[in-house]
Structure 1
Amino acid sequence: MVDTNSALELRERIFWVPTDLEQLPAHKEWSQRLYANIITLARRIMQAQGLRITVLGAENIPADGGAVLAMNHTGYYDFILGGVPAYLRGKRMVRFMAKKEIFVNSFIAWLGKQMRHIPVDRSAGGASINVAVESLREGNLVGIFPEATISRSYEIKDMKSGAARIANAAEVPLIPMVCWGSQRIWPKGGKKDLGRSKTPIIMVVGEEIPTTGDAEKDIDALCFAMKSMMEQVRDLYDDRFGPFEDGLPWRPASMNGTAPSLEEANRMDTADRAARAARKVKEAEQEAAKSERKEEKKLAKRAQKQLKKMSKWARKDQK
């Protein structure tokens, strides 16, 4: 557990951190100007939004060398917030693993490649695991959302074992992180608030989870740690920024909010997966039909050319 009673100080008009958090010089990664400029832009946007981000336990992130940062996932803003604790550790950068669909746009794909993020093909994840392990061995921080998708219930979902397998293969620390409040900014399927909302957010970085090589056992330990940290951060959030009324959409059902229960959210995710699979089948069928029509047109053109040749030969024979 992280000490939540320590005195806090304001850093850069946006980050509240323990007064004893060591201010480190910028890591050599900060020389990667494109990524550094994007982080600077994101920081200014968050300042303009008036976000108040409390970060506890950032000292658990290594000041140098590789580590897997495993974080819960409650909103689309998590890709921005997930890099904040590392930034506070000497302006370190996080290489996120994200589903390949995010990189479909050519410009986004180019940016992702320049920042060395890692696309994940969820139907064949082995290649991305190898890329992540190599990145970690090079001394990078790799960010993973082990729930694999946004939690509509705002509870921690069942986790995939990839984070544990990657950390163990690369022989780097597996570090749990939780974030609470980002679902108030841009949730999945809910109303987003990207203006000057002054939304408070609390992030907690836990101590390393030792890996044993048993991925299922290790991911269970990670899940237990993150659930315990989430209970801690929610209590802290309500104590510092509450009280909150019942029936709020950004609060889980277990806290008298109107977000779907974990079971309901799982059913919704299952329905979404089935719908995506059906769309893919339909798209494949449409593509196959399109290819078939093109082939038929080619064959028809060839047949017409052949008929013209035969007609020409027949006229010559008649002469």
Structure 2
Amino acid sequence: MPGKDRTYRFVIVVFGLLFRLMGYRFDVRGVDNIPTSGRAVLAGNHIGFLDFTFIGYAARPRGRRIRFMAKTSVFQLPVVGRLMRAMHHVPVDRSHGASAYRRGLALLDDEQVVGVFPEATISRSWLLKPFRRGAAGLALHRDAPLVPVVVWGGHRIYTVDGHRSLRRGVPVTIVVGTPLRAERGETVDALSDRLRASMELLLAEAIDTYPESPRDEDDRWWLPHDRGGAAPDPRTAAVLDREAVARIGETFE
């Protein structure tokens, strides 16, 4: 597939230029945990629309291009959809998830890195939502390392509920954790639970070491409720998620 990555290389260059133009201050930790060759499943948290661009950008020093699994609705956007298909990302239709899962397995068989957001949609609490089993299942069924990664700060740039900003110099922290390997006899659910526990620790580290605090009371929206922020707690956030889906149907989250 490397010979088919011209579009992917172009997109990386474009986003790299945009990130430098905006002066985003990246703090990438643990990037050596991304293997430089061979199959791998990379599982990320989901707090904003640009998460996959930040994770993909952070993986550049390892020479890997991540094939992300994303909602079908993203592929229906006129320009974005064409780019997503050209970069060989995988559309996920909730009503036909088996097809996307098979494509993920095929990519792993081709020694690719598959990117999965186990929460499926953006978390309005900024904390981890319940996980779906796809990331753990792919890793277990292909004996691939399962690499946890979290992004923090990217939601301040572009996320749900109209939160977007052109402010320059926003810090973005990306923490890549130690790869997990399925143990002998381990179930998909058990591996998924271990993944979530690992990502909870990484997310706490990213939040606690983030170099900025809210500027004023109105700016507390991007902090979780348990850090003194104005974000809803996970239970309230789940209600807001259901209301959003009922209001606008299929979302691009």
TM-score, L = length of structure 1 = 0.73
Letter in 2 for 1:205: V
Per-residue CA shift, 1:228-285, capped at 9, x if unaligned?
1111111111xx43486566111111111111111110111122334456x8xxxxxx
Structure-2 separation of matches of 1:139 and 1:29: 11
For residues 76-155 of structure 1, the aligned pairs below 5 Å read: 76-90=49-63, 92-155=64-127
Letter in 2 for 1:198: G
Structure-2 separation of matches of 1:197 and 1:246: 20
Unaligned runs of 5+ in 1: 1-27, 280-319
Is 1:71 the counterpart of 2:56? The answer is no
In structure 2, do the counterparts of structure 1 residues 152 and 116 end up closer, same or farther at CA, with 3 Å as the change threshold? same
Letter in 2 for 1:96: F
Q: Is the 8 A contact 1:253 1:260 kept in 2?
A: yes
Deviation at 1:103, TM superposition (A): 0.9
Name the residue aligned to 1:310: none
Structure-2 separation of matches of 1:243 and 1:273: 29
Q: Is the 8 A contact 2:45 2:117 kept in 1?
A: yes
Choose the corresponding residue for 1:185, options 147, 153, 157.
157
Name the residue aligned to 2:20: 47
2:240 aligned counterpart, secondary structure: helix
Deviation at 1:105, TM superposition (A): 3.3
Structure-2 separation of matches of 1:128 and 1:172: 17
Structure-1 separation of matches of 2:47 and 2:134: 19
Name the residue aligned to 2:176: 205
**Coordinate RMSD, CA, aligned:** 2.0
For residues 225-236 of structure 1, the aligned pairs below 5 Å read: 225-236=198-209
Letter in 1 for 2:207: R
Per-residue CA shift, 1:98-154, capped at 9, x if unaligned?
000111135433322221000000122011000011101101111111000000111
2:95 aligned counterpart, secondary structure: coil
Letter in 2 for 1:32: D
Sequence identity percentage: 34
**Runs of 4+ residues over 6 Å off in structure 1:** none
TM-score, L = length of structure 2 = 0.91
Computing the radius of gyration from Cα coordinates, the structure with the larger value is: 1
Greater CA deviation, 167-176 or 52-61? 167-176
Q: Is the 8 A contact 1:134 1:170 kept in 2?
A: no
2:42 aligned counterpart, secondary structure: strand
Unaligned runs of 5+ in 2: none
Task: Count residues with an aligned counterpart.
Answer: 247
